[in-house]
Amino acid sequence: MSLFDEMSVFIHVVDAGSFSGAARRLGVAKSVISRRITALETRLDANLFNRTTRRLSLTEVGQAYGVRARRILEDVAEAADATHSLRRELVGRLRVAAPMSFAHQHLSPAIASFLREHPLLDVEVDLNDRQVDLVDEGFDLALRIGTLEDSSLIARKLAPSRRVLCASPAYLKECGEPLTLKDLSARDHRFLVYGNRPLADQWRFRVGSNWQAVSIRTPRLTANNGETLRDAAIEGLGLAILPTFIASAPIVAGELKPVLSSYPLPETSIYAVWAPGRPLSTKVRALVDALGARFGESPYWDEAIR
Protein backbone atom coordinates (compact mmCIF):
# COMPACT_ATOMS: atom_id res chain seq x y z
CA MET A 1 0.00 0.00 0.00
CA SER A 2 1.23 3.51 -0.79
CA LEU A 3 2.15 6.12 1.78
CA PHE A 4 -0.78 8.21 0.58
CA ASP A 5 -3.25 5.37 1.27
CA GLU A 6 -1.76 4.73 4.72
CA MET A 7 -1.97 8.44 5.47
CA SER A 8 -5.64 8.44 4.47
CA VAL A 9 -6.37 5.50 6.78
CA PHE A 10 -4.56 7.30 9.60
CA ILE A 11 -6.80 10.38 9.20
CA HIS A 12 -9.90 8.17 9.17
CA VAL A 13 -8.80 6.65 12.49
CA VAL A 14 -8.21 10.12 13.96
CA ASP A 15 -11.64 11.36 12.82
CA ALA A 16 -13.46 8.22 13.97
CA GLY A 17 -11.59 8.04 17.29
CA SER A 18 -10.96 4.31 16.98
CA PHE A 19 -9.78 1.57 14.65
CA SER A 20 -13.24 -0.01 14.64
CA GLY A 21 -14.90 3.30 13.79
CA ALA A 22 -12.52 3.84 10.87
CA ALA A 23 -13.16 0.28 9.70
CA ARG A 24 -16.92 0.93 9.63
CA ARG A 25 -16.44 4.15 7.66
CA LEU A 26 -14.18 2.45 5.11
CA GLY A 27 -16.12 -0.80 4.94
CA VAL A 28 -13.17 -3.02 5.86
CA ALA A 29 -12.22 -5.28 8.75
CA LYS A 30 -10.67 -3.75 11.88
CA SER A 31 -7.59 -5.94 11.35
CA VAL A 32 -7.02 -4.25 7.99
CA ILE A 33 -6.96 -0.84 9.66
CA SER A 34 -4.57 -2.10 12.34
CA ARG A 35 -2.15 -3.52 9.74
CA ARG A 36 -2.11 -0.29 7.75
CA ILE A 37 -1.45 1.87 10.80
CA THR A 38 1.32 -0.51 11.87
CA ALA A 39 2.83 -0.26 8.38
CA LEU A 40 2.71 3.54 8.54
CA GLU A 41 4.34 3.62 11.97
CA THR A 42 7.05 1.27 10.70
CA ARG A 43 7.59 3.49 7.68
CA LEU A 44 7.87 6.58 9.92
CA ASP A 45 9.76 4.77 12.71
CA ALA A 46 7.45 6.40 15.25
CA ASN A 47 4.39 5.59 17.32
CA LEU A 48 1.40 7.66 16.21
CA PHE A 49 -1.11 6.43 18.80
CA ASN A 50 -1.15 5.68 22.50
CA ARG A 51 -3.06 2.40 22.67
CA THR A 52 -4.84 1.17 25.81
CA THR A 53 -7.71 -1.26 26.26
CA ARG A 54 -10.09 1.63 26.96
CA ARG A 55 -9.11 4.46 24.64
CA LEU A 56 -6.99 5.55 21.71
CA SER A 57 -5.15 8.87 21.69
CA LEU A 58 -2.52 10.53 19.53
CA THR A 59 1.07 10.78 20.64
CA GLU A 60 2.83 14.11 20.30
CA VAL A 61 4.36 12.85 17.05
CA GLY A 62 0.92 11.67 15.92
CA GLN A 63 -0.61 15.09 16.55
CA ALA A 64 2.08 16.85 14.51
CA TYR A 65 1.87 14.27 11.72
CA GLY A 66 -1.92 14.51 11.69
CA VAL A 67 -1.91 18.25 11.01
CA ARG A 68 0.46 17.84 8.06
CA ALA A 69 -1.17 14.68 6.73
CA ARG A 70 -4.60 16.29 6.73
CA ARG A 71 -3.20 19.29 4.86
CA ILE A 72 -1.64 17.02 2.22
CA LEU A 73 -4.87 15.07 1.75
CA GLU A 74 -6.83 18.32 1.47
CA ASP A 75 -4.40 19.57 -1.19
CA VAL A 76 -4.81 16.36 -3.18
CA ALA A 77 -8.61 16.56 -2.85
CA GLU A 78 -8.55 20.21 -3.86
CA ALA A 79 -6.48 19.41 -6.95
CA ALA A 80 -9.09 16.83 -7.96
CA ASP A 81 -11.85 19.27 -7.06
CA ALA A 82 -10.33 21.94 -9.30
CA THR A 83 -10.09 19.48 -12.17
CA HIS A 84 -13.71 18.44 -11.83
CA SER A 85 -14.86 22.03 -11.43
CA LEU A 86 -13.69 22.67 -14.97
CA ARG A 87 -16.38 20.19 -15.96
CA ARG A 88 -18.82 21.89 -13.56
CA GLU A 89 -18.93 18.84 -11.30
CA LEU A 90 -18.44 18.91 -7.52
CA VAL A 91 -16.83 15.76 -6.14
CA GLY A 92 -15.33 14.63 -2.87
CA ARG A 93 -16.40 15.02 0.74
CA LEU A 94 -17.40 17.98 2.89
CA ARG A 95 -17.44 17.98 6.69
CA VAL A 96 -19.85 20.53 8.15
CA ALA A 97 -20.56 21.37 11.80
CA ALA A 98 -23.79 23.11 12.77
CA PRO A 99 -25.95 23.91 15.83
CA MET A 100 -28.58 21.26 16.38
CA SER A 101 -31.88 23.17 16.37
CA PHE A 102 -31.11 25.21 13.26
CA ALA A 103 -29.78 22.16 11.44
CA HIS A 104 -32.85 20.05 12.23
CA GLN A 105 -35.29 22.61 10.87
CA HIS A 106 -33.43 24.46 8.13
CA LEU A 107 -29.98 23.12 7.29
CA SER A 108 -31.08 19.51 6.72
CA PRO A 109 -33.42 20.28 3.79
CA ALA A 110 -30.84 22.70 2.39
CA ILE A 111 -28.15 19.99 2.45
CA ALA A 112 -30.53 17.47 0.88
CA SER A 113 -31.29 19.89 -1.96
CA PHE A 114 -27.58 20.61 -2.44
CA LEU A 115 -26.75 16.90 -2.65
CA ARG A 116 -29.47 16.32 -5.23
CA GLU A 117 -27.83 18.96 -7.40
CA HIS A 118 -24.34 17.46 -6.94
CA PRO A 119 -24.59 13.65 -7.07
CA LEU A 120 -20.80 13.12 -6.92
CA LEU A 121 -20.46 14.99 -3.62
CA ASP A 122 -20.63 13.51 -0.10
CA VAL A 123 -21.43 15.59 3.00
CA GLU A 124 -20.88 14.67 6.65
CA VAL A 125 -22.83 16.88 9.06
CA ASP A 126 -21.96 17.03 12.77
CA LEU A 127 -24.85 18.45 14.82
CA ASN A 128 -23.65 19.92 18.10
CA ASP A 129 -24.20 23.20 19.91
CA ARG A 130 -20.56 23.34 20.99
CA GLN A 131 -18.07 25.32 18.92
CA VAL A 132 -15.82 22.88 17.10
CA ASP A 133 -12.18 23.52 16.29
CA LEU A 134 -12.29 23.64 12.50
CA VAL A 135 -8.61 22.83 11.96
CA ASP A 136 -7.95 20.26 14.68
CA GLU A 137 -11.21 18.41 14.07
CA GLY A 138 -10.98 18.53 10.30
CA PHE A 139 -14.14 20.46 9.42
CA ASP A 140 -14.37 22.29 6.11
CA LEU A 141 -17.14 24.59 7.29
CA ALA A 142 -19.18 25.44 10.37
CA LEU A 143 -22.41 27.33 10.93
CA ARG A 144 -22.45 29.59 13.97
CA ILE A 145 -25.17 31.75 15.45
CA GLY A 146 -24.44 34.84 17.53
CA THR A 147 -21.33 36.91 18.09
CA LEU A 148 -18.18 35.41 16.56
CA GLU A 149 -15.60 35.17 19.33
CA ASP A 150 -12.75 33.74 17.22
CA SER A 151 -11.63 36.67 15.09
CA SER A 152 -9.14 34.50 13.19
CA LEU A 153 -11.92 32.70 11.31
CA ILE A 154 -13.24 33.87 7.97
CA ALA A 155 -17.00 34.40 8.09
CA ARG A 156 -19.85 35.08 5.72
CA LYS A 157 -23.24 36.16 7.03
CA LEU A 158 -25.99 33.87 5.77
CA ALA A 159 -28.99 35.41 7.50
CA PRO A 160 -30.06 37.48 10.49
CA SER A 161 -31.07 35.61 13.62
CA ARG A 162 -34.03 37.50 15.04
CA ARG A 163 -35.80 36.58 18.26
CA VAL A 164 -39.32 36.85 19.57
CA LEU A 165 -40.94 36.72 23.03
CA CYS A 166 -43.90 34.38 22.83
CA ALA A 167 -46.28 32.14 24.73
CA SER A 168 -49.20 29.86 23.97
CA PRO A 169 -52.73 31.30 23.72
CA ALA A 170 -53.70 29.06 26.66
CA TYR A 171 -50.93 30.52 28.83
CA LEU A 172 -51.88 34.10 27.91
CA LYS A 173 -55.52 33.38 28.71
CA GLU A 174 -54.54 31.98 32.10
CA CYS A 175 -51.91 34.53 33.13
CA GLY A 176 -52.74 37.56 31.00
CA GLU A 177 -50.82 39.02 28.10
CA PRO A 178 -48.00 41.39 29.14
CA LEU A 179 -48.40 44.77 27.46
CA THR A 180 -45.41 46.58 29.02
CA LEU A 181 -42.07 45.47 30.41
CA LYS A 182 -43.38 46.14 33.92
CA ASP A 183 -46.02 43.49 33.31
CA LEU A 184 -43.26 40.85 33.19
CA SER A 185 -42.79 41.39 36.93
CA ALA A 186 -46.34 40.26 37.65
CA ARG A 187 -46.32 37.34 40.04
CA ASP A 188 -48.46 35.17 37.80
CA HIS A 189 -45.92 35.04 34.98
CA ARG A 190 -43.64 32.04 34.49
CA PHE A 191 -40.47 31.98 32.42
CA LEU A 192 -38.68 29.52 30.14
CA VAL A 193 -35.01 30.45 29.85
CA TYR A 194 -32.22 29.54 27.43
CA GLY A 195 -29.32 28.76 29.74
CA ASN A 196 -26.47 28.51 27.23
CA ARG A 197 -25.57 32.21 27.20
CA PRO A 198 -24.15 34.82 29.59
CA LEU A 199 -26.66 36.63 31.80
CA ALA A 200 -29.33 34.04 31.11
CA ASP A 201 -31.38 35.49 33.97
CA GLN A 202 -31.78 38.84 32.19
CA TRP A 203 -33.86 39.63 29.13
CA ARG A 204 -32.90 42.79 27.23
CA PHE A 205 -35.36 44.90 25.28
CA ARG A 206 -34.90 48.09 23.30
CA VAL A 207 -36.87 51.01 24.66
CA GLY A 208 -36.47 53.94 22.29
CA SER A 209 -32.74 54.29 21.70
CA ASN A 210 -31.74 52.48 24.90
CA TRP A 211 -31.61 48.91 26.11
CA GLN A 212 -33.47 47.88 29.25
CA ALA A 213 -32.81 44.65 31.14
CA VAL A 214 -35.58 42.72 32.87
CA SER A 215 -34.44 40.36 35.61
CA ILE A 216 -36.04 36.94 35.42
CA ARG A 217 -37.20 35.33 38.62
CA THR A 218 -36.63 31.62 39.19
CA PRO A 219 -37.44 30.10 35.77
CA ARG A 220 -39.96 27.32 35.43
CA LEU A 221 -37.59 25.70 32.95
CA THR A 222 -33.98 26.35 31.96
CA ALA A 223 -32.62 24.49 28.93
CA ASN A 224 -29.69 24.78 26.52
CA ASN A 225 -31.85 23.83 23.53
CA GLY A 226 -34.36 26.10 21.83
CA GLU A 227 -36.63 23.28 20.67
CA THR A 228 -37.07 22.16 24.28
CA LEU A 229 -38.14 25.68 25.24
CA ARG A 230 -40.45 25.88 22.21
CA ASP A 231 -42.22 22.66 23.19
CA ALA A 232 -42.62 23.85 26.78
CA ALA A 233 -44.04 27.17 25.58
CA ILE A 234 -46.53 25.38 23.30
CA GLU A 235 -47.63 23.34 26.32
CA GLY A 236 -48.47 26.57 28.16
CA LEU A 237 -45.66 26.41 30.71
CA GLY A 238 -44.51 30.02 30.35
CA LEU A 239 -43.05 32.86 28.32
CA ALA A 240 -39.99 32.14 26.17
CA ILE A 241 -37.63 34.13 23.98
CA LEU A 242 -37.02 32.03 20.89
CA PRO A 243 -35.16 32.53 17.61
CA THR A 244 -37.65 33.10 14.85
CA PHE A 245 -36.16 30.16 12.94
CA ILE A 246 -37.59 27.99 15.75
CA ALA A 247 -40.72 29.98 16.63
CA SER A 248 -41.99 30.76 13.14
CA ALA A 249 -43.79 27.49 12.39
CA PRO A 250 -45.73 27.28 15.69
CA ILE A 251 -46.63 30.99 15.41
CA VAL A 252 -48.05 30.41 11.92
CA ALA A 253 -49.92 27.36 13.26
CA GLY A 254 -51.41 29.41 16.12
CA GLU A 255 -49.63 27.38 18.78
CA LEU A 256 -47.61 30.40 19.94
CA LYS A 257 -48.32 34.11 19.95
CA PRO A 258 -45.70 36.89 19.93
CA VAL A 259 -45.99 39.41 22.78
CA LEU A 260 -44.37 42.78 23.55
CA SER A 261 -43.50 43.15 19.85
CA SER A 262 -43.10 46.92 20.30
CA TYR A 263 -40.01 46.24 22.44
CA PRO A 264 -37.39 44.78 20.05
CA LEU A 265 -34.97 42.13 21.25
CA PRO A 266 -31.26 42.04 20.37
CA GLU A 267 -30.51 40.46 16.99
CA THR A 268 -27.56 38.30 16.06
CA SER A 269 -26.60 36.60 12.80
CA ILE A 270 -26.15 33.16 11.30
CA TYR A 271 -22.67 32.75 9.80
CA ALA A 272 -20.77 30.26 7.71
CA VAL A 273 -17.19 30.18 9.02
CA TRP A 274 -14.03 28.50 7.80
CA ALA A 275 -10.35 28.47 8.68
CA PRO A 276 -8.07 31.16 7.20
CA GLY A 277 -4.83 30.74 5.31
CA ARG A 278 -6.06 28.45 2.56
CA PRO A 279 -8.03 29.07 -0.64
CA LEU A 280 -11.72 28.29 -0.28
CA SER A 281 -12.37 25.08 -2.19
CA THR A 282 -14.89 25.04 -5.00
CA LYS A 283 -17.24 22.72 -3.17
CA VAL A 284 -17.17 24.74 0.06
CA ARG A 285 -17.79 27.95 -1.86
CA ALA A 286 -20.68 26.30 -3.69
CA LEU A 287 -22.32 25.22 -0.43
CA VAL A 288 -21.85 28.65 1.17
CA ASP A 289 -23.35 30.31 -1.91
CA ALA A 290 -26.29 27.90 -1.87
CA LEU A 291 -27.01 28.55 1.81
CA GLY A 292 -26.71 32.31 1.35
CA ALA A 293 -29.16 32.20 -1.53
CA ARG A 294 -31.60 29.96 0.37
CA PHE A 295 -31.68 32.04 3.57
CA GLY A 296 -30.64 35.65 2.93
CA GLU A 297 -31.40 38.92 4.70
CA SER A 298 -35.14 38.18 4.76
CA PRO A 299 -35.23 34.43 5.46
CA TYR A 300 -38.41 32.54 4.72
CA TRP A 301 -39.11 31.82 8.39
CA ASP A 302 -39.26 35.58 9.09
CA GLU A 303 -41.37 36.28 6.02
CA ALA A 304 -43.90 33.72 7.22
CA ILE A 305 -44.67 35.71 10.39
CA ARG A 306 -44.13 39.24 9.07
- In this prediction the pTM is 0.70
**Does 77 reside within a domain?**
no
Residues 289 and 149 in one domain: yes
Give the mean pLDDT of 202-229: 91
CATH code of the domain covering residue 206: 3.40.190.10
Same domain, 191 and 154: no
Break the chain down into helix, strand, coil percent, rounded to 5.
40, 25, 35
Structural domain includes residue 76: no
Question: Range with the lowest mean pLDDT among 23-37, 73-87, 193-207, 233-247?
Answer: 73-87
Whether 195 maps to a domain, the answer reads: yes
User: Given phi > 0 = left and psi -120 to 50 = alpha, else beta, which region is 176?
Assistant: left
Q: 279-295 burial, b for 16+ CB within 10 Å, e for fewer?
A: ebbbbbbbbbebbeebb
Q: Does residue 172 share a domain with residue 290?
A: no
In a shared domain, residues 46 and 104: no
Question: Looking at the chain, which runs of residues are DSSP E strands?
Answer: 49-51, 56-58, 92-98, 121-127, 141-145, 154-161, 163-167, 191-194, 202-207, 210-215, 221-223, 239-243, 257-258, 268-274
Residues 18 and 58 in one domain: yes
Domain assignment present for residue 188? The answer is yes
Q: What CATH number has the domain bearing residue 54?
A: 1.10.10.10
Identify whether 51 is part of a domain. Answer: yes
Co-location of 139 and 112 in the same domain: yes
Do both 42 and 124 map to the same domain? no
Q: What's the pLDDT score for residue 129?
A: 77
Q: What is the pLDDT of residues 58-114, one digit of tens each?
A: 898 888 888 888 888 777 776 666 655 544 578 888 999 999 899 999 999 999 999
Q: Within this chain, do residues 184 and 137 fall inside the same structural domain, yes or no?
A: no
Domain residues for the domain of 212 are: 163-266
pLDDT tens profile 259-302? 999 999 999 999 999 887 666 788 899 999 999 999 999 999 99
**Residue 245 falls inside a structural domain:** yes
Residues 199 and 254 in one domain: yes
Q: Structural domain tally of the chain? A: 3
Distance CA 180, CA 83 (A): 61
